[in-house]
Structure 1
């Protein structure tokens, strides 16, 4: 275990490492650590330096991974990041109303996404672009909702990938109910529910843990702990590491290095196998970092410092796997050059597809609110129509 990977076991931020940190917060963090008893354990198979770490418990779940599959994992992460960057740029250009970036979380999503079987079912939040990629959902289909031209963009049953869920934490209930259903049907598939560290404070998540445990539901709760629930740090969500909370509900929890794609692949495969074999739910906490803003409406410089981001950039999941591929002679410069060209082609395709989408109907927001209409909605529609007409009077459109 390297010095860096040991440090990664516990989220540490010094008083000067982020804007707005106070002595009170530092005291709270120290107390929470003491109450937890021990440092959080962290499953890691690949260090930030690209070195393979042996793990007696989880190595068997990636023992058969070939060099070709490793290159595939790298390709998945690179193309997902490229798509994500293009979507962020499109929002800044006014083509999308909002975008939630996954920058920094590629390993957690690709590793867990590639652990799934075709017959498993996924319940995402609104940031699982990498998982959607693994399930075969075209990237352009993710953008219609953020442009305001549809309410989802794909058939959930076509890829066993549910529509994005904006309501925080509610998808864990949907996943639990679905898992209970397939168990009663006698199926041997599993369900995975994604959520963030902030959502772990929601009552829906606690209820999901209760029902899944009591009914032994074949569900994996996959928490991407990116350490910032918008502007609130993780210690405002839990006094103990998130994965340890599973103990109180009667099922196991494990914390994995969320920037280690091999570790995420192995741990998720283990958890899914438990679910399929009738051993019930598991909580996986992928300890990672949101390197960008929560969404494009957020300014992370208001609540955290550059030093923190820079420290996590050194643990970049893509760079980590590239170092391993190069060090193991599993990829050459030709592979990386071809992937760069493919990446740019994807960005161009996404850009052109979004710009070809129709503009949203400006008045659709007033429809389907009340079945029989409503005086206040009618008044607001008229006010908005007058506002729109004012631009035409000025020669606009």
Structure 2
């Protein structure tokens, strides 16, 4: 009857890997051309970000941070993909993707202010090409298609890159965004970080497709699934996707197979209710930091002493940043009303006067 074989399509989407769990190169011809210094810098960022995650969880428990989504386990997916980008590229993160925008140039204290819900957390440096982390699941995907269209129309040599999770790929915005991007052949990279459980729903209940990457087929764009615990593989596919976009070859959907070791957020999620200890142990063996540490160690590029220096630097800078964030002026209702419009409508003028009176007491 002319039906296309789903099985044949799914066979096309094999997991791309360069570095195995033992830190050994298993795909020599695809190994990216990174210098020793670049390899060390990527490791430094991953170690720093793991410490930032641990400290952020602690600060959240102390009540010094607000909303926080843990990132441990996803460092290769987040930071190796970002490492393949350039300063002029535009990032549209989800709420778990704060590390990427920090390494893109967001001051650390601003990231803490975002977590605290302070408006200064979204007052960004003018030369920083990011949007604030998106709380609405999947909304950034449509926005990324639009930003990429803008870059194309202005002949900018840059790409728009957005991140979501496997749960985000179930949203209508996901399909609308990748379809729009395909229609207009825009320079966009859509990265779906498949950490297998969204908030608590296993990926098998998110989709009947064997991979999220294959959803690119329906949108007429390129798609690839990559080992998201392998920094070299994630870097390589992102760099290739960026080159394709700049060459006018259109957008790419990248699915990174990864895992978050902590809860979905610090707002009461208990992963032991939906994840087994066996699954946790299986993914801990794939830890991107352990894998990359073994690889760099085999090349005599990394030592315990170097790692300790990074950890101590992170602790120092995090301490300074949270102290700076704590000094931000307390938010007032009049601040929030004043930001909403250039010229306030009548009802908000009345509320502004009401709250000015309250705040002056």
Write the deviation string for residues 149-190 of structure 1: whole angstroms up to 9, x where unpaired.
216434264221211111111111111111112212222221
- Are residue 131 (structure 1) and residue 104 (structure 2) matched? no
Give 2:26's aligned residue.
53
Give 1:331's aligned residue.
302
1:313 to 270, 275, 284: 284
In the alignment, is the contact (CA less than 8 A) between 2:51 and 2:311 conserved in 1? no
In the alignment, is the contact (CA less than 8 A) between 1:101 and 1:294 conserved in 2? yes
In the alignment, is the contact (CA less than 8 A) between 1:115 and 1:265 conserved in 2? yes
In the alignment, is the contact (CA less than 8 A) between 1:82 and 1:347 conserved in 2? no
Give 2:201's aligned residue.
232
- Are residue 340 (structure 1) and residue 311 (structure 2) matched? yes
Shifted more, 190-199 versus 302-311: the winner is 302-311
- Are residue 277 (structure 1) and residue 247 (structure 2) matched? yes
Give 1:392's aligned residue.
none
- Are residue 43 (structure 1) and residue 27 (structure 2) matched? no
From the superposition, tell whether residues 315 and 331 of structure 1 become closer, same or farther in structure 2 (CA, over 3 Å): same
Please list every run of 5 or more consecutive structure 2 residues that lacks an aligned counterpart in the other structure. Answer: 1-5
Give the distance between the partners of 1:301 and 1:39, measured in 2 at CA. 34
Give the distance between the partners of 2:272 and 2:312, measured in 1 at CA. 33
In the alignment, is the contact (CA less than 8 A) between 2:167 and 2:203 conserved in 1? yes
Please list every run of 5 or more consecutive structure 1 residues that lacks an aligned counterpart in the other structure. Answer: 1-32, 386-397
- Are residue 68 (structure 1) and residue 27 (structure 2) matched? no
The offset of 1:214, in angstroms, is: 0.9
Give 1:100's aligned residue.
69
Give the distance between the partners of 1:337 and 1:146, measured in 2 at CA. 27
In the alignment, is the contact (CA less than 8 A) between 2:10 and 2:214 conserved in 1? no
The offset of 1:193, in angstroms, is: 1.2
Write the deviation string for residues 181-229 of structure 1: whole angstroms up to 9, x where unpaired.
2212222221111111111111111111111111111101111111111
In the alignment, is the contact (CA less than 8 A) between 2:106 and 2:124 conserved in 1? no
Q: What count of residue pairs does the alignment treat as equivalent?
A: 342
Write the deviation string for residues 347-397 of structure 1: whole angstroms up to 9, x where unpaired.
3223433433444548978986995549xx99xx9xxx9xxxxxxxxxxxx
Give the distance between the partners of 1:234 and 1:151, measured in 2 at CA. 36
Give the distance between the partners of 2:136 and 2:108, measured in 1 at CA. 22
Give 1:12's aligned residue.
none
From the superposition, tell whether residues 372 and 230 of structure 1 become closer, same or farther in structure 2 (CA, over 3 Å): farther
